[in-house]
Amino acid sequence: MAKEGPEKTEETEHMIEKNGGKEQDTVLGAADTKEMRAVVLTGFGGLNKLRVTKKPMPEPQEGEVKIRVKACGLNFLDLMVRQGNIDNPPKTPLVPGFECSGIVETLGENTKGFEIGDRVMAFVNYNAWAEVVCTAAEFVYKIPDDMTFPEAAAFSMNFVAAYMMLFEVANLREGMSVLVHSAGGGVGQAVAQLCSTVNNVMVFGTASSFKHEAIKDSVTHLFDRNADYVQEVKKISPEGVDIVLDCLCGENTGKGLGLLKPLGTYILYGSSNMVTGETKSFFSFAKSWWQVEKVNPIKLYEENKVIAGFSLLNLLFKQGRGSLVKTVVHKLISLYNQKKIKPLVDSLWALEEVKEAMQRIHDRGNIGKLILDVEKAPTPLMANDSTETSEAGEEEEDHEGDNDNKERMPFIQ
């Protein structure tokens, strides 16, 4: 990874003023070559563990690309990282974020395939939520001229995960049926769009009811997230479905397996249900694991069913499959160029608005992907902000729902 000097804990002047919610007007420009702005997670916990600070400018190592970031993807996983709700969490403080888009600024030694000025999107193993990012060239992809930076930041994680699950793991083909949870979210919408690239694929989706009107054209049959979806699916398709994509680890595994047709594939790829509040709940964590169904391999063999797991970040950063992912990105870019897929951006937020952006996901408010727009100025707070001006590194108490009394107006697309 890129080499950095000792971390600075000083807050930038970009934080929002407490009184009146007025923004301060100094912005660190691209000309400042020694430092950059970044979102820092000071410790695992609630939203108040996030702040924007100055960090030393990273420089690319051999084989790396240095990117001037324009937009960053905010994924559900980032909420889980913030809470420390993941396996082997890294040490804090850290800069969160796994994907971004921007412009190539410099190249490390022996870095091939890119030129300064290229428009790119990239995966990063943390550190994406910053003005500048360095990452290995194998995780960087050129983007089409007509793809905007927010679209690019909404593209890689959601579409690569959706594509690999549907086509590499489950072998989606004409005439099949798919069940996906959180159908209005980033991955859910990518799944729905990719299913529409294959003839005659029926998509069953669950989502909060208020999203149904917005996403009804992308999903064949929509159910409320609290509905008895097993019964609902069986009413329409008594035989069940060919592919179940489950991001609600634990409580749905048995239901998902039960819904599979012979030769069907169940893929577990997330555990959104472990997030029950602003901070990690050990009770929910334990409950989820307790509820994970014990799968009997003999039953799988007798019933002709396939059970699989998928983790894109592990594939990229732990299992060395960067070149496989690159071929998938190229296929996806071709689909984008043919106008068969297009990332759905829910809203754009300034780095300083990361807490409110995360709150929107906690509140299940997003339809599509949330983007941190590095060049966007924060909109003024509409009520008292009681958390944002504290010094970086200073320990604070967590306040569940501490954003309840304030609201910003994001740029909703």
Provide the Cα torsion 307, 190, 247, 269; round to 10°.
50
Closest contact distance (angstroms) between CB of 278 and ligand NAP is 11
Q: Which two tokens stand for residue 197?
A: 């690239």
C-alpha 163/C-alpha 169 separation (Å) is 9
- The nearer residue to ligand NAP, 169 or 300, going by C-beta atoms, is 169
Query: What are 290's two structure tokens?
Result: 């307790």
**Alpha-carbon gap, residue 199 to 316, rounded angstroms:** 30
Q: Which H/E stretch holds residue 67?
A: strand 64-74
Encoded tokens for 374:
């590095």
CB 219 within 8 A of CB 192: yes
Q: How far is the CB of 380 from ligand NAP (least distance, A)?
A: 26
Residues that bind ligand NAP (CB under 6 A): 75-77, 157-158, 161, 182, 184-188, 207-208, 211, 225, 247, 269-270, 272-273, 275, 310-312, 361-362, 364, 366
How many CA within 13 A on the CB side of residue 102? 31
Query: How many Å apart are CA 43 and CA 82, to the nearest integer?
Result: 8
Contact at 8 Å (CB) between 308 and 295?
no
Instruction: Specify whether the CB–CB gap between 115 and 307 falls below 8 A.
Output: no
Give alpha helix (H) positions in 125-268: 149-153, 156-163, 186-195, 212-215, 229-236, 253-259
- Look at the block and give the residue holding tokens 């699989």: 308
Of 42 and 182, which CB lies nearer to ligand NAP in the complex structure? 182
- 130 or 248, CB closer to ligand NAP? 248
Q: What minimum distance in Å lies between the beta carbon of 223 and ligand NAP?
A: 10
Query: Are the C-beta atoms of 113 and 92 separated by less than 8 Å?
Result: no
Closest CB 73 distance from ligand NAP, rounded Å: 8
54 Cβ contact list (under 8 Å, min separation 6): 8, 10, 12, 28, 35, 36, 37, 38
Q: Which residue's C-beta sits nearest to ligand NAP?
A: 185
**Least distance to ligand NAP from the beta carbon of 161, Å?**
4
Contact by Cβ (8 Å): 189, 203 = no
Which is nearer to ligand NAP, 149 or 159 (by Cβ)? Answer: 159
Nearer to ligand NAP, 269 or 349 (CB): 269
- Give the residue with the Cβ less far from ligand NAP, 290 or 301: 290
State the minimum distance, in angstroms, from the CB of residue 194 to ligand NAP: 13
SS3 371: strand
Based on CB atoms, which residue is closest to ligand NAP, 116 or 412?
A: 412
Residue with Cβ nearer ligand NAP (167 or 310) = 310
CB of 22 to ligand NAP, least distance (A): 31
Cα–Cα distance for residue pair 131/100, rounded to 1 Å: 10
- Nearest distance, CB of residue 311 and ligand NAP, angstroms: 4
102/184 with CB nearer ligand NAP: 184
Q: How far is the CB of 280 from ligand NAP (least distance, A)?
A: 12
